[in-house]
A and B are shown apart, each in its own frame.
Chain A
Amino acid sequence: MSVKPQALVITAPGINCDAELAAAFDAAGAQPESILMGALEREPSRIDDFQLIGLPGGFSFGDDVAAGRIMAVLMRERIYPALASAIERGVPMICPCNGFQIAVQAGLLPGPERGVWPHEPATPSVALCQNRAARFHDAWTRVTIPSDTRCVWTRGLQLDHETGLLPSAHGEGRFITDPSTLTALQTNGQVAVRYAEGENFNGSMDAIAGICDPSGLVFGLMPHPERFTRWTQHPWWTRLDPSQRTGEPLGLRMFRQAVRIAAEPAHRRSHVTSA
């Protein structure tokens, strides 16, 4: 019998999507465990025990100053090295919503160009700022997956017009970066998911909803794939024909892909991620 990969869910004051993130890992075949940020700060080596990491959504530290800012400052100070080394050993990491906002400020995304993580967290080069309407917005949107993405969570997923959706709920999700970083992300296969045509409600550059690091392991996105693991979560599931509800919902498929990679022996994993 194979052993389930262990998934670390990092929580902190104001993080509030940890339960559904843990449930998604569980549904996808991993064994989730939630640990408070404070405990990890005291003992960062606990991160070494895990084969998957999730940085959930919410309002860490009230999103005071800016979304994810204070949590990112704390992460840079104490646990960045342990996270970087986890990624180096091939651990897939997902950072939805507040997790994404934290990850881009903590030096985890877009990640090092050559795949070698620096000792000090990098200065942020992308930002998630206030939505175009300067207002919190909750909606399901159609998304697209770039065919050239390196992201192990989204690579190769086929989307259907009626079911290729994800829910978003945020006030600060507008993806902004400088032109050269944008070009690098595009050409390097680091765009992991986009809002479909006409669905870019927050005004993100190039309709980018999520990106990954060059290894494809670290995935940050504003939508919440962990909230689409059952068909009854789909916003118009009562309209869907039963034939459209076969197979697994998009969010769960993302978790499945990553859990499968995490369950593989390390030597095969490094092969997969360098593709």
Chain B
Amino acid sequence: MSVVHRIEVRTKDGLPDARGEALLRRATVEPGLPQPSSVRSAQVYLIEGALSDSDLQGIADRLLADPVTQVATIGLRASQGFVVEVLPLPGVADPAAESVELAIERLVNGRVRVLTGDRWDLGGVNRAEADEIGRRLLANPVVQSMRSEPWMPDRFPEARAHDAQTRDVPIRELTDAQLERLSREAHLFLNLDEMRAIQSEWRRRGREPREIELETIAQTWSEHCVHKTLKSRVRYTEAGLAAGSPSLIRHASAYAGHSIDGSALVIDNLLKRTVAAATHHLMEPGRPNSIDWCLSVFVDNAGVIAFDDTHAVCVKVETHNHPSAIEPYGGAATGAGGCIRDVMGTGLAAKPIAATDVFCVAPRDMKEPKGCLPPGRILRQVVQGVRDYGNRMGIPTLNGAVWFDPRYVGNPLVYCGVVGLMPRDLIRGQVHEGDTIVVLGGRTGRDGIHGATFSSAELTDSHADEFSHAVQIGNAITQKRTLDALLVARDVQGGPLFHAVTDCGAGGFSSAVGEMGRSVGATVHLDRAPLKYAGLTPVEVWISEAQERMVLAVPQKNLSALRAITDAHGVEMCELGTFGTPERDLILLWKGQEMGRLSTHFLEDAIPMPEREAVWDPAWAATQAPATPETPAPDGLLSTLRALLAHPNIASKAWIIRQYDHEVQGTSVVKPLVGRHGAPGDAAVIQPVVGSNRGIAIGNGLATGLASDPYWMGLAAIDECVRNLVCVGADPTRIAILDNFCWPSCRDPRNMGSLVRAAEACLDGALAYGTPFISGKDSLNNQFTTEDGRTIQIPPTLLISGVGIVPNVDRCVTMDAKRAGNVLLLVGRTHGRMGGSHRLMIGALDGCDTTLPQVDLKEGPIVARAVAACIREGLVCSAHDCSEGGVLVAAAEMAFGGDLGVKIDLQAMPCAGLVSPHARAFTEDPSRYLLEVADSNLTRVRSMLGSLPNAVLGRFDDSGQVSVAAESMSIRELRDAWASGGEGW
């Protein structure tokens, strides 16, 4: 008979218990937590199965405990202090348990079930305090149980079972109010127009829809899957204009799909007429400098560009915001995992070769409202999630950014990007009628149900309870196996064994099979899907977003060859159905019985796209600017510089970067931290093909400080992304970019107005810089409603990610200053506009120009190309872009990055008009670069820059000091300020 056994493993007395010590340190730095005097950690294994005492002893000694450093206890062990024990909730994935089950099977030849968890013995605190520490630092009730004593149940708890029926949902007779209530209560999150469209379709069909059919529509029509806001027709008006802000109405009306209607600008499809239009325009054959290196844009899971004659590069950037708000570790890990799968599912499969991460979170010391997790914990666990997924998959995470703003408190943003490499002739897949629908990878469970619709909702203080099922726990190793098998199946002699591949992301099978079967239809046997546990209903199988699953279209004749590969890699393979139905319908079966039938035409074409109202209201938008604190900033230029270097947006991110394996695959050329001591690089460069000197630069631009006019914010982000890539040696005529809009609710016309301005900036910016958008994504309901009904909207946030081709990695440049005696050359024009600057985030500055920095669309691209030419010619020793904090921050980073001093003359700066020293030093005016140039090359560089504004600001030296005007400060002090601003996590 099966019983539950318990084995605990802990560090031997006298040896360091690193996890216990880490928790002790964490409790010390976390504000307001009780202080334990001691912490001892242990790993807990609960094993259900028929095992003898000697089996158990063997498992403890040979598998679970290290004989050098650990001891195992079989059974319950008395507590030392108060116990906090953390175990996964029933039904939540426990990847470690699966590995232990496999190993035990080998050791004792018997099947067992395992649960793994952690035990913490806390000394010097009382029971209530131990629980408080557990709640704040150890357990998340969404996925874990927390117990106050060691747990040894008689049997394992089971996940709840559901009946295997699919119900009819009567909607044909419902009123509008009833339709809306149904949408909300069934978590469909469809609006009234959409509910009505469904109602009329089923009235026409003469029956009620089944639950599974409604769910399919809800997934397919979710904002997450169909981007219905960005693709809608928009009527945009302006309620005024702030100083320096352009009117879009006349400016944009010349573009295709834009027209004037009275005082309004009407855009017939926002995404198509802005972001996508830029790319298609740049690719138009016959136009000067027409781009021929975009191979696949906006149609696949990722955008694809040419790398060289035989390889292509694909890129995708995703957000995983809502899951990360309620379970940051799992949310971020599956965000990274999902984006990796997107790249695996591009064309006929790409190999992921690099990852990026950008996080927008609340300041660490902020007190969170009820229903939110503490901001410090969110960022720490988000980093751990990305780390554990990326590192385990063996993908270097090597570029990113973190932006802090209190408005992200209930709604943190987690962007994950992945770059893939694939053969150029395999960038397109095509499902054939008669292909078998094959699922590879993980099993289907009840995890992640309603992720797609959840992500399209607004968060409230009760969402953590209501949507715990939307959270998923990833298993990176399952995905790594799947990737290995997929690439082998792609690279077999004679061509790939499959005709098409895609990932199971939001909406699960319903989206993946639905999308792949769009042109041919599909028959799906839902009962064939391998399950994590019994009891899933057909609906649950169909929409579960369980991780690590890929869907392939495989010709019958290749099935056995594919199975041989998946068997060798230990990857589960299931034949779920067949592509191709007479009417192109989607037919859902359970044990042969029809559960639902949907027309792919209806799914694709019937979604109502109402016109949306967009109003640009500058007075309201001004309130979107980051707050300026009442406390005064330091007086001196260098004390201000020191304060800025310690600002969390600017300070070192080494604590994050160094948790990622950014060296795996052995391709890194420019790492995220450069110089001897790790200074902040502008972008990363990898050399992905062995034997080729060609490289890929990976960078990003984010200018959330300019949120009070998203037009300037969008242009600044594009300009910054280009600058970052140019500074490491990328060719500016071979840069592709991606857009990720994260906005508060666009049902508010003012937010919609700000979205229109950002989208138009994407169009103008991409055209001016010649940087096509190749992919993008949006997340449009990022706001949090507190218990007392207050809504916290995030600032509109546009991330521009970019990849650039580096013709020769030997010519790459880093930002650390190289040699005393070299000059510091500023390229680009300074206006002294201080709006949105970090200088104003640390205190007011009297008499400055508070308008927003403006990108000059004529000069900006020319400056970028001229700087790139100087770098390509080998005339530049180091290059750094001037972004957060301005020129002085950039110059100081170069100096301490190279262990050199620098003397700077701000008066030498070429300025448009009268600009005060503080404004010269700290404005974040765009399109500016700092270059380190040897005297012998200066004439040549300046002649290449021609009439572009540039000036020698100073010279690097051996003084160990940054000097400006009459002030000096040691580079050690400045570096310490920068480094310490990123400590304590």
Contact = CB atoms under 8 A, between A and B. Distances in A.
Interface in B640-676: 657-666, 668-671, 673-676
Nearest to B22: A134
A70 interface: yes
B329 to A, nearest CB: 14
A226 B662 CA distance: 14
Interface in A200-236: 203, 224, 226-227, 229-230, 232-233, 235-236
Main secondary structure on A side of the interface with B:
mixed
A124 B480 contact: no
B195 to A, nearest CB: 44
A59 interface: yes
Contacts of A38: 568, 570
B18 A131 contact: yes
B809 A73 contact: no
Nearest to B43: A65
B844 interface: no
Nearest to B677: A236
Given A36-B568, A132-B16, A136-B387, A64 B661 contact: no
A149 interface: no
B674 A73 contact: no
A194 B828 CA distance: 48
Interface stretch (A14-22, A47-55, A263-271): A14-22
Contact of A127 (B69, B669, B674): B69
A129 B66 contact: yes
Contact of A138 (B661, B665, B675): B661
A70 B568 contact: no
Contacts of A70: 63, 99-100, 102-103
Given A73-B63, A127-B66, A239-B816, A138 B663 contact: yes
Nearest to A131: B18
Interface residues of B, number: 68
Contacts of B480: 13-14, 16
Contacts, number: 181
A74 B103 CA distance: 7
A39 B809 CA distance: 38
A154 interface: no
Contacts of B878: 238
Interface in A1-36: 11, 13-14, 16-17, 19-20, 23-24, 36
A70 B107 CA distance: 11
A161 to B, nearest CB: 11
Interface stretch (B259-267, B391-399, B604-612): B391-399
A133 B69 contact: no
Contacts of B671: 235
Contacts of B98: 64
Contact of A17 (B394, B477, B481, B676): B394
Contact of A133 (B22, B63, B570): B22
B485 to A, nearest CB: 10
Interface string B699-734: 000000000000000000000000000000000000
Contacts of B100: 64-65, 70
A23 B21 CA distance: 39
A17 B812 CA distance: 25
A57 B392 CA distance: 10
Interface string A111-144: 0000000000001111101111111111100000
Contacts of B570: 13, 38
A233 B68 contact: no
A130 B831 CA distance: 52
Given A16-B480, A36-B569, A139-B658, A203 B16 contact: yes
A169 interface: yes
B814 A238 contact: yes
A73 B568 contact: no
A81 interface: no
A136 B389 CA distance: 13
A105 B66 contact: yes
B344 to A, nearest CB: 14
Contacts of B69: 127, 129, 176
Contacts of B106: 73-74, 77
Given A62-B477, A232-B687, A238-B813, A135 B67 contact: no
Contacts of A136: 387, 391, 659-661
Interface in B383-418: 387, 391-394
Interface of A: 11, 13-14, 16-17, 19-20, 23-24, 36, 38-39, 57-59, 61-66, 69-70, 73-74, 77, 105, 123-127, 129-139, 167, 169, 174, 176-178, 203, 224, 226-227, 229-230, 232-233, 235-236, 238-239
5 A-B pairs closest in CB distance:
A16-B394, A20-B666, A64-B99, A134-B22, A127-B68
13 contacts: A24-B666, A39-B568, A57-B664, A61-B99, A64-B100, A69-B63, A69-B66, A70-B103, A132-B18, A174-B16, A238-B674, A239-B676, A239-B814
Interface of B: 11, 15-16, 18-19, 21-22, 43, 62-64, 66-69, 95-96, 98-100, 102-103, 106-107, 116, 387, 391-394, 475-477, 480-481, 484, 568-570, 657-666, 668-671, 673-676, 687, 690, 809-810, 812-814, 816, 818, 878, 898
